Amino acid sequence: MSQPTYGSGSRATKKAVLHLHAPPSRVFPLLCPERERDWIAGWDYTMVYSQSGYAEPGCVFTTTLPDEGLTIWMCAEHMPDRRVVFSRVTPGLITIHWEMDLSQPTPGDTDLAVTWTVTGLSEAGNRFVDTMLDERFSGLTGMLKRCLDHYFTTGTMLPVGL
């Protein structure tokens, strides 16, 4: 029996596991808005609050993406080499509770489990959840895997378009 829900927001959860050829101690520091500039072409953000300048519990930053507009992010959990969680809100569109859990299946490798729980905040947000989420999530996780694989192999950012 499903649980009753209240309110007008659509919600869905998506999960993927990225197998990476680097240990958690190399993967985890890259899961940070500042360090993402090292390995994601075109990534940009504005730090609102951080004591260290990097991801940490309670840090807040914003992004502005062409198809989303202003998005506000907060680091909700930060357990080095094990887990990081971001909550993000794109006002008037969606929220995403973004969990990343790291495990080491074999020495020198990481399984990065990515879980998105997405809630629509409007009719447009509900349409995103109901019709576009699968494609956006699989596209993003595929891009992250390609970028991280390239970075761990070459030490450089994957050029745009590859």
Torsion angle in degrees (nearest 10) through CA of 36, 138, 127, 125: -20
Walk across the sheet containing 83-90 and list its strands. Answer: 11-20, 110-120, 94-103, 83-90, 69-79, 60-65, 46-49
pLDDT of the residue at 162: 62
pLDDT of the residue at 65: 85
What is the distance between the alpha carbons of residues 31 and 101, in angstroms, rounded to a whole number?
Answer: 11
Cα 85 to chain center, whole Å?
Answer: 8
H or E, element range at 126: helix 123-127
Bridging pattern class, strands 83-90 and 69-79: antiparallel
Residue written as token pair 């998005």? 71
Domains of the chain: 12-154 (3.30.530.20)
pLDDT of the residue at 3: 58
Mean pLDDT of the chain: 94
pLDDT of the residue at 2: 53
Stretches in the chain below the pLDDT threshold 70:
1-5, 161-162
Q: What predicted TM-score, i.e. pTM, was given to this entire model?
A: 0.93
pLDDT of the residue at 4: 59
Cα 90 to chain center, whole Å?
Answer: 14
pLDDT of the residue at 88: 97
